[in-house]
Structure 1
Amino acid sequence: MPLTRKSIKILQWILSAFILFAAILVWTTTQEKKDGAMTPQVVMIKFGADGRQDAKNQGFSTMNHPSGVYRYQIHWDDPAKLGIVKYIQGPYSFDVDNVMIATGLGDKDSPEDGVDNWDINFNISSSKTTSHEEGRDKVMSLLGRLRSAGWKRYVYAASPRLAGREALKYVSSESGALYSLDSTYTPTIDEWKNLITVEPRWIFYADGVFLTLSLSYQSSGSPDMGYYLTDIQVSTASDHYTPYFTDSVERRKKWEKLISDELKPAREERSKKEAELKALGYTIDATYQPPPFEAPDFSAKADNAH
């Protein structure tokens, strides 16, 4: 069966999990390795056709899959000289250090859109191993920089709107829940130790783009020390909502006119879940502001605009 765009991206997430173990081997080996080709230490990434051209100009490798997904990728193999990625989006731009791999994806069905998804795999620290306290503090510092750049928290349309410690409590009680934590809440060390076992994530939104920061952790065998692999994925709104339109390329191209109806079941699921949580003593964060795409009348306005 040929791979679809969705399955390619699922494979990318699976690959990210294995990268952590590869990173451990890289950090612990004493053998020095050198690339045959020169890889720039600093690269800039952006969306659209410009992002695709910039990737080519900066030496990213290219893969055009028969399914129609094209990929641009660059990697840094020397643990003593990892990469720096500068993500460009006006006032929402940010830098990421200690990068191992940066990957961009696009779709041949929408060549005018260029790159619509970037994935950055990086180490949270330049150290070989990281303590729980340092790992937590560096993650919280990065989250703070994203907020300062204008990124706002995003909660999936079907997920309950919880804030602070209650969001963390919910993640801990819901096995396998892909929930967006509140980046303004700093966990205690004990909370952090429990949190990193479930591969936590913090999801943001800014000006038509979604960002997910997630991390994996592997103990080093030394008390309270381990290896952190952190991942930032940024995607355009059209890419973010692709799972709702996997049945049709034409429907995907018209996602703005269709998304309001597609999200109705999600909104109903959120209401039901929030009612259950309120009965358990949780407080619903009524101040949460979703992206404009998730307003019930967004599609009607988008249709009228055309």
Structure 2
Amino acid sequence: MSKTAIITLAVLLAIIGVIASITSRAEPPRQEQAKPAYPAHIELALYQRGEDWQKKYSTALAPEIKNFGVSIYKTQPFESNALPSAIVDAGGVRTVIPNALSIMATDDQDRDVGITIIDINARVKNGGAMSHDEARLYILDLVEKFTALGWKTAFSFNKPRLSGIHALNYYGADDLDPNYKLSFAEWMQLDGSLNWELYLNHTYMRVTVDRDQDHLDPNKPGAYIMSFTIEPHEEVQRMYVDEKERDHWRQLWIPIARKLRSERNIKEATLKAQGIPIVSDYKDPELPPAPPGQQNPVIPKDLQ
């Protein structure tokens, strides 16, 4: 290529570069893709179809995960300044859990019954470091709101029926009375996770409070998080028998209940002898309605 041709080519390339530069400056700046607007409230119910929940909140939920006969549906990470409320339908009663950090629903695909477990993690108040008393008052107020809706304490069939300070002394943090307002001193003395077992309309809810174990100085801020596990009564009852027998657990229930009740009676007799009152008017929840083709056993007098 001649020297003249080389110079001509260089000039052309320079001109093209200038035009491209001018054009690029003239183009409007590209806008970042807008993040999806997540709803302020996310509702779900036990035995609801997971795929229906996914369709309703498609922008808020991550892709479905299939694993060993179940499908798991989880929410996407939320903006920390715009956490939604989770609203769970428990037999027609809508229970609101504010500041949900994550919501997960497990759909039992093998049995084709829909969602059988709901797990929710929630922020305590505004999150971050806060005084222990601030956290205590917020959490106890939330538990009080649950009891106002009708949620009541639920005892395992073999556990003694205790309330208030007596439940606190016996169970510690494992099974707190939702109607007992823990003092600040009691709150700080409890070890490990704090738990309330609640029941309403054939639905169980376990409320758990975890706190940073390295920041338990009552005079300094702590860090808290709450979790909620919600299950149908039917699914809880099924766990009392071996997996292969769970579809007909009702046929096996009476001897199991007698064994568990005997354990409770022995424990309660020991406590009574020590002068500790028993909540004798507490009755175990009635068995959940039987599915088509089955019926609940007749409960004998010694188990009523």
Bucket of the pairwise TM-score, normalised by the shorter protein: 0.7 to 0.9
Task: Return the alpha-carbon distance in structure 2 between the equivalents of residues 162 and 217 of structure 1.
Answer: 26
Distance 1:200 1:89, change over 3 A: same
Unaligned regions of 5+ residues in structure 1, if any? 1-33
| 1:268 is aligned to 2:254 | no
Task: Return the alpha-carbon distance in structure 2 between the equivalents of residues 35 and 116 of structure 1.
Answer: 34
- 1:154, 1:203 within 8 Å by CA — same for their partners in 2? yes
Match of 1:129 in 2: 129
- 1:76, 1:83 within 8 Å by CA — same for their partners in 2? no
Higher helix share: 1
Match of 2:284 in 1: 290
Match of 1:64 in 2: 66
Over the residues paired in the alignment, what is the CA RMSD in angstroms? 2.5
Task: Return the alpha-carbon distance in structure 2 between the equivalents of residues 47 and 155 of structure 1.
Answer: 21
| 1:189 is aligned to 2:165 | no
Offset of residue 51 of structure 1: 5.5
* AA aligned opposite 1:271: N
Match of 2:234 in 1: 238
Match of 1:45 in 2: 44
- 2:41, 2:86 within 8 Å by CA — same for their partners in 1? yes
Match of 2:275 in 1: 281
**What is the 5 A alignment of 1:36-185?**
39-50=38-49, 52-59=51-58, 60-61=61-62, 62-65=64-67, 67-89=68-90, 91-111=92-112, 113-172=113-172, 179-185=174-180
Distance 1:48 1:221, change over 3 A: closer
Unaligned regions of 5+ residues in structure 2, if any? 1-32, 289-294, 300-304
Task: Return the alpha-carbon distance in structure 2 between the equivalents of residues 114 and 132 of structure 1.
Answer: 39
Offset of residue 153 of structure 1: 1.4
Deviations 1:32-73 (A, max 9, x none): xx99665434211112234551234212231110x2122111
Distance 1:264 1:100, change over 3 A: same
Deviations 1:180-218 (A, max 9, x none): 3211111111100122x2312111111111111111111
* AA aligned opposite 2:179: T
- 1:45, 1:55 within 8 Å by CA — same for their partners in 2? no
- 2:154, 2:198 within 8 Å by CA — same for their partners in 1? yes
SS at structure 2 position matched to 1:146: helix
Distance 1:75 1:156, change over 3 A: farther
- 1:39, 1:76 within 8 Å by CA — same for their partners in 2? no
Task: Return the alpha-carbon distance in structure 2 between the equivalents of residues 135 and 191 of structure 1.
Answer: 14
- 2:130, 2:222 within 8 Å by CA — same for their partners in 1? yes
SS at structure 2 position matched to 1:241: helix
Match of 1:29 in 2: none
Normalised by the length of structure 1, the TM-score is 0.76
- 1:84, 1:99 within 8 Å by CA — same for their partners in 2? yes
Task: Return the alpha-carbon distance in structure 2 between the equivalents of residues 198 and 155 of structure 1.
Answer: 20
Normalised by the length of structure 2, the TM-score is 0.76
Offset of residue 277 of structure 1: 2.0
Which of 215, 221, 227 aligns to 2:209? It is 215
Offset of residue 293 of structure 1: 2.1
Distance 1:220 1:200, change over 3 A: closer
Distance 1:260 1:105, change over 3 A: farther
Distance 1:39 1:225, change over 3 A: same
